[in-house]
Amino acid sequence: MRAAIAGASGYAGGELLRLLLGHPEFEIGALTAASSAGNRLGTHQPHLFRLADRVIEETTADTLAGHDVVFLALPHGHSAAVASQLGEETIVVDCGADHRLAGPAAWQEFYGGQHAGTWPYGLPELPGQREVLRKATRIAVPGCYPTSVLLALSPAFAAGLAAPDVVVVAASGTSGAGKSLKPNLLGSEVMGSVSAYGVGGVHRHTPEMEQGLSAVAGEPVRVSFTPTLAPMSRGILATCSAPAAPGVTKASLRTAYEVALKDEPFVSLLPEGVWPATAMTYGANTAALQVTLDERAGRVIAVIAIDNLTKGTAGGAIQSVNLALGLPEELGLPLTGVAP
């Protein structure tokens, strides 16, 4: 299989390449970008030694044509125009936001402009979603925060153990903001500091969380989401809570999660008493999850760690592509984090 990567000079593009270099069924085809077209890849991704001399091309339909899979790691608003020129014989995977939301209303409110349409949502762990992805030729990779929140709370909502009034506070590594030259992303600013941003229901991943959880719950779920930036390159730790349904106990909660996750290759429900750390998942496609009941406050508390670039973006994308291609879901994906 030949794969092209549009947006090869960014962080998502680099992670796709790192993983595809270790995937037995892929060879790496065209690498494209916008402002860095014409440069060697080594200038932008110095850790990809084996691809250092590959030259980045312009992102056009021509350069992307003739591949079995095209990964789009582009700023939002740029995917639809590219995808429309690629036929259904090509699997197109959008790592951006353009095709995640189910309808134009939330798109308008949070992104503005014309909605590009909805694609199959690339989170195989959602109920029924593996079947959808096995036939897909277009895949919308979930946002990194929604990946974490949907994995953390779906078992509770699927089992009817939580009320639809969710509070999420999540810490993300800086790579989640991309390779953007903004003062607040400079090393001098982020090291030694945790900061909040996008507070008050305005972060664009909020409607995606509500959409996914509402589908699982079978009723509208409201999410209050506060993202924070932590002094690390990678990783998301999301603390997710909701009022416990009447009668829920610690034991019933644990059992529901064990049942829901027992066959999931990429979600590790930790032993009781062990809480997730993002380091457990560094560079791996695995989520580390724990859940408990706060009996004083009457809330289900689920905490999850993922690597935002791996399970949260590039690894999740390849996992869905594996399904779409009829390959083993785990093929080529690291299960073990690089720690300490």
**Measured from the CB of residue 331, what is the shortest distance to a copy of itself in angstroms?**
13
Q: Which is nearer to a copy of itself, 91 or 171 (CB)?
A: 171
CB closer to a copy of itself out of 122 and 235? 235
Q: Measured from the CB of residue 49, what is the shortest distance to a copy of itself in angstroms?
A: 4
Catalytic residues: 144
Strands 165-172 and 222-229: parallel
Q: Given CA atoms 33, 39, 41, 45 in this order, what sign does their dihedral have?
A: negative
CA distance 277 to 307: 10
In terms of CB distance, is 160 or 298 closer to a copy of itself? 298
Residues between 223 and 242 with contacts to a copy of itself, criterion CB under 8 A: 223-224, 226, 228, 230-235, 237, 239, 241
Shortest distance (Å) from residue 65 CB to a copy of itself: 27
Based on CB atoms, which residue is closest to a copy of itself, 44 or 100?
Answer: 44
Site for a copy of itself in 17-56 (CB under 8 A): 18, 21-22, 40, 42, 44-50, 52
CA distances (Å), origin 297, targets 157, 221, 260, 292, 293? 18, 20, 25, 12, 9
Smallest distance, Å, CB 252 to a copy of itself? Answer: 15
Cα torsion 104, 109, 113, 118: sign: negative
**Cβ(136)–Cβ(324) below 8 Å:** yes
Residues of this chain, 56-115, that bind a copy of itself according to CB under 8 A: none
Cβ-based nearer residue to a copy of itself, 119 or 145: 145
Write out the binding residues for a copy of itself, residues 122-181 only, by CB under 8 A: 165, 167, 169, 171, 173-175, 179, 181
Question: Interface residues for a copy of itself in 259-318 (CB under 8 A)?
Answer: 268, 270-271, 274-284, 286, 288, 290, 292-299, 301, 303, 305
Q: Which helix (H) or strand (E) holds 11?
A: helix 11-21
Beta bridge partners of 292: 301
The residue behind tokens 């999740």 is: 316
- Dmax (CA) of the chain: 62
Among 4, 7, 11, 72, binds a copy of itself (CB under 8 A): 11
Question: How many residues at the interface with a copy of itself, by CB under 8 A?
Answer: 92
Q: From CA 156, how far away is CA 162, in angstroms rounded?
A: 6
Minimum CB distance to a copy of itself, residue 222 (Å) = 5
The nearest distance, CB 107 to a copy of itself, in angstroms, is 15
Closer by beta carbon to a copy of itself, 11 or else 119: 11
Total residue count of the chain as it appears in this document: 340
What residues contact 139, with CB distance under 8 A and at least 6 apart?
91, 92, 93, 94, 119, 120, 122, 133, 317, 320, 321, 324
Give the CA distances from residue 271 to residues 31, 79, 258, in Å, rounded to whole numbers and listed in that order.
42, 41, 11
